[in-house]
Amino acid sequence: MRKKWIVLLIFVICGSAGCAETVPAEWPKECVGRLQLALPGKSDQAAYLFSELFRNHAQYGQPYMRFPDGEPAGLSQFSIADITHPLNASEKNDALNKFIKIQEKIGDSYKEKVRNVSTGKLIGKAWVIQGKYVGLDALVNNSVFLWGQETASEIEFTHVEDKLKSLINALRPRPLFDVPAEPGLCLPYVFIPDGGQGGHAIAMTYRLKEHPDITINLRSKTAESTPKEGDNIRPDAVTNDFQTDLYWGAYLANVVDARSLWHLPAKRPMHMAGRSGLETFLAVVRSKDSEEDYIYHAVARGDPDEPEKAPDVRLVVEQNRQNAIKRGIQPLTQDEVLKLSRQIAASVAVRKNK
């Protein structure tokens, strides 16, 4: 009888507030923006495909970030620059020609003289249009890195030009599972040292090789300022509760059916990256003939007083069982998806800098 009461007590505690999982020590660490997480093994990461990044966007639409085999990763977001998967030798030569065309096209659009800037050790093109535009198109190791920014004044131009010089001097390759011990921003294949300054919104997506039905998306975003009276934003727009509803409101519009796997409450308090957060766990049906997939979502509000040291955090662990079935692999069960998700959530932390 005593054992039954203990089991019931554990269920009640975990059911109302969530139970943090232990992160296996052997899991390798990876980084996203100013955050780090641990993943349960070898993974693919999402970036742009070279073949899509430079094609006519007016004709084909904006490119998606994808895994190397072309599967889309819709939640990925790089606010800093556009980055591709590694290129082969032929694509690298093609990229250098496209850099020249980008410079010519933007120069023609402004009808202004373009001034070239030395790229130092980087291979590519760096250039400015005085007072109006600053651009960097380069190869970082074997990946394309496209960055550009319009400016509205000479003061802003000077600031952005300084940023260009900093990128040229500091930009460096970053292999998967390399977690730098200095302030900066982690992106796929690239690391940007920045002294921990400057805004960002970076969401990176991983697909597990051993469990290809599972993708993990982690977002690191400069903590939003707390809305003040009179601002053109709802006072509660930055809260964990609102951000949870915002995510599911958009997601559920694209599925046939969905149900929360938790009740009373469906949103459960938790901690992530040292901040108070909320977690939810839903089953979704994508089409009439498909089985349920499981999706875990967690958010944790950052610190608006230290928006870079404590960014806003969002984690989505999403199952698509067909990605495992078509490879002859058994999809994870509901309990396995939840356990894995909570282990990953427990691993998320602000990256420590020396």
- Give the model's confidence band at 15: pLDDT under 50 very low, under 70 low, under 90 confident, else very high: very low
Q: In this structure, is the dihedral angle defined by the CA atoms of residues 107, 108, 110 and 114, taken in order, positive or negative?
A: positive
Question: 124, 96 in Cβ contact below 8 A?
Answer: yes
Residue 72 host element (H or E) = none
- Give the model's confidence band at 14: pLDDT under 50 very low, under 70 low, under 90 confident, else very high: low
Q: Where are the domains of the chain?
A: 205-349
Looking at residues 298-302, what average pLDDT do you find? 98
Lowest mean pLDDT among 43-47, 58-62, 155-159: 58-62
> Between the CA atoms of 324, 289, 71 and 69, what dihedral angle is there, to the nearest 10 degrees?
50
Backbone angles phi, psi at 329, to 5 degrees: -115, 140
Enter the tokens of residue 330.
Answer: 């058994």
pTM: predicted TM-score of the whole model, two decimal places: 0.93
Cis omega (within 30 of 0) for bond into 183: no
For residues 4 and 11, what is the distance between their CA atoms, to the nearest angstrom? 11
Which residues are registered as beta bridge partners of 219?
203, 314
- Residue 12 class from Cβ within 10 Å (0-12 exposed, 13-18 middle, 19+ buried)? exposed
CATH code: domain 205-349 is 3.40.1000
